[in-house]
Amino acid sequence: MKIKTKFGMAMQILSVLCLTGSTLLLVVRWNQIPAVIPGHYNFAGEADSMTGKGSLILMPVLNWLMYLGISILEHFPQVWNTGVKITAQNRERVYRILYHMIACLKLSVVLIFSFMTIWHENYMPSWFLAAAMLLTFGPMVFFMIQLWRAR
């Protein structure tokens, strides 16, 4: 059964490029980052706690760990919660749709965490929460509709 596609591979490549780029950017710009940076933002996007820049190291580590964890999960479609009954007729189609959803969600997670890694201002842009929600739930809704049609 072949569920990997050019679209899925493009999502993988974009994820790795974004991960690598944000990690390298953090390393290259380390000396330019202020010693104290925002550690948390409130709902209005204002920094409501500050922390040392050393806490930034956790962001790319978590980003890489999530990427690797999701990548491992991709190789075991039999453990995916498909939401539809798997039959011999729909197995490949359903798994391909879910593979695309997982690849898109992986890119979404990488993009969100990469942005949080490189953003060090005292405010979070007003569009960030909406963009993060759209990046998270948009692919889920899109691919769940496709999955429902493919059952």
What is the model's pTM? 0.88
List pLDDT tens digits, range 62-80. 999 999 999 999 888 778 8
Tokens encoding 25 = 């950017």
- The residues near 9 (Cβ < 8 Å, ≥ 6 apart) are none
Distances (CA, A) of 54 to 36, 47, 116: 9, 17, 14
Please give the tally of structural domains in the chain: 1
Could you count the other beta carbons within 10 Å of the beta carbon of residue 1?
7
Task: Evaluate if residue 1 carries a pLDDT over 70.
Answer: no
Domain that holds residue 85: 6-150
As given in the structure block, the two tokens for residue 14 are 């974009």
Contact 110, 18 (CB under 8 A): yes
Asked, for residue 65, whether it belongs to a domain, the answer is: yes
CA 126 to chain centre: 20
Residue 42 in any domain: the answer is: yes
Half-sphere exposure of 118 (CA within 13 A, CB side): 17
Q: Classify residue 61 by burial, with Cβ atoms within 10 Å: 0-12, 13-18, 19+.
A: exposed
pLDDT digits over 101-123, tens only?
A: 999 999 999 999 999 999 988 89
Q: Is 1 a domain residue?
A: no
Residue 104 maps to a domain: yes
